[in-house]
Amino acid sequence: MSNSLSALEERAESVARELHEVRETIKMLKEKRLKLVSELEEIRKKKNALLENLRKIRSQFKQSVGEHKALVAGLKKLVEERRSLIDELRAIKELMQNKKNTYQTLVQEVKIPITTVKHKIEELEWRLQTSVLTLEEEKEVIRKIQAYNSLIKRALNARKEREEYLELRALYLSLKSRISELTSKISEIKKLLNEKSNEIVELKNRINACLSEYMGVKNLLENKKKEISECDNNIVFLTSKLTALRQEYNNLITSIAKEKEKALLESKRRFIMAKTNEPNKKRYSLEELKILHGVSEEE
């Protein structure tokens, strides 16, 4: 019986220590869980902030890409317009040269002022009307009038060619000015396109960096959730274990009490039996009878 009681007491002490260890572990796990929940909230805030920032950068990226496309379309339109004007300018330049050559040729032929020629024609016509001329003289005068009229015609053609040349020259200068203006605009748009391209590259890099950080924080968040879940599982497991240990400990305490009671009864029984051999012992008391029959005092 002594060995059995000793084993029970040793087991009770072992269970008591295990109970303490389990309680401390549960306490530690709850503290850890509380800390993890706090960290989880901070990580979630950071994740939401990164997500909002990512949305803003993506919005800026989309806007920049749209602006870049608009600039490309505008540049294409200006380049096509300039190309068309350059072709037109070349044609006008060739036409101007032809007008200039024709005008210079006619000017070389007509060196007398038109007013002087007209005056000569009037004099010749007056001579035809007022003078008596021979047939040969009349033919000569008519020939001269025709020659002078032809000269006036060429002079007028020269004037017309010169006027058309000047008109073409004005158009040429206007087109040249417009082409210069377009070239300046094209250069400006190319500069803006280069800046916008750099901006798009920078935004793309920012998106990649933000996305990488976001995914890292998201993974960290999932890991924290897993840690909290593990804590919860461990707490549930250890709480169940704690209940079982308490039950075992209570059972051990009950068993120890019973063993001690049995040992006490056995000791009393031996004492009574020893007194039985005494000469003056005649009868047993009620309490002694209960002890001898293994009945506890409570019963």
Q: pLDDT at position 299, please?
A: 46
Q: What CATH number should be reported for the domain holding residue 240?
A: 1.10.287.2610
Domain assignment present for residue 122? The answer is yes
179 vs 81, 91, 187, CA distance in Å? 9, 15, 12
Q: pLDDT at position 288, please?
A: 57
283 falls in which pLDDT band (50, 70, 90)?
low
Mean of the per-residue pLDDT values of the chain: 86
252: which 2 tokens?
């051990």
Give CA–CA dist 52/37, Å, rounded: 22
Considering just the CA atoms, what is the radius of gyration of the chain in Å? 62
Q: What is the mean pLDDT of residues 165-169?
A: 90
Domain assignment present for residue 222? The answer is yes
Domain assignment present for residue 293? The answer is no
197 vs 62, 68, 69, 206, CA distance in Å? 12, 7, 10, 14
Domain assignment present for residue 41? The answer is yes
Q: What is the mean pLDDT of residues 9-35?
A: 94
Domain assignment present for residue 291? The answer is no
Domain assignment present for residue 289? The answer is no
pLDDT digits (tens, 9 = 90+) for 98-147: 888 877 777 766 666 767 767 877 888 787 788 777 788 888 878 888 87
pLDDT digits (tens, 9 = 90+) for 56-77: 999 999 999 999 999 999 999 9
Q: pLDDT at position 152, please?
A: 75
Residue 276 pLDDT exceeds 70: no
Q: pLDDT at position 111, please?
A: 66
Residue 1 pLDDT exceeds 70: no
Domain assignment present for residue 243? The answer is yes
Q: pLDDT at position 289, please?
A: 58
Domain assignment present for residue 39? The answer is yes
3-state SS of the chain is CHHHHHHHHHHHHHHHHHHHHHHHHHHHHHHHHHHHHHHHHHHHHHHHHHHHHHHHHHHHHHHHHHHHHHHHHHHHHHHHHHHHHHHHHHHHHHHHHHHHHHHHHHHHHCCCCHHHHHHHHHHHHHHHHHCCCCHHHHHHHHHHHHHHHHHHHHHHHHHHHHHHHHHHHHHHHHHHHHHHHHHHHHHHHHHHHHHHHHHHHHHHHHHHHHHHHHHHHHHHHHHHHHHHHHHHHHHHHHHHHHHHHHHHHHHHHHHHHHHHHHHHHHHHHHHHHHHHCCCCCCCCCHHHHHHHCCCCCCC
Q: Domain count of the chain? A: 1
Domain that holds residue 92: 2-276
pLDDT digits (tens, 9 = 90+) for 75-91: 999 999 999 999 999 99
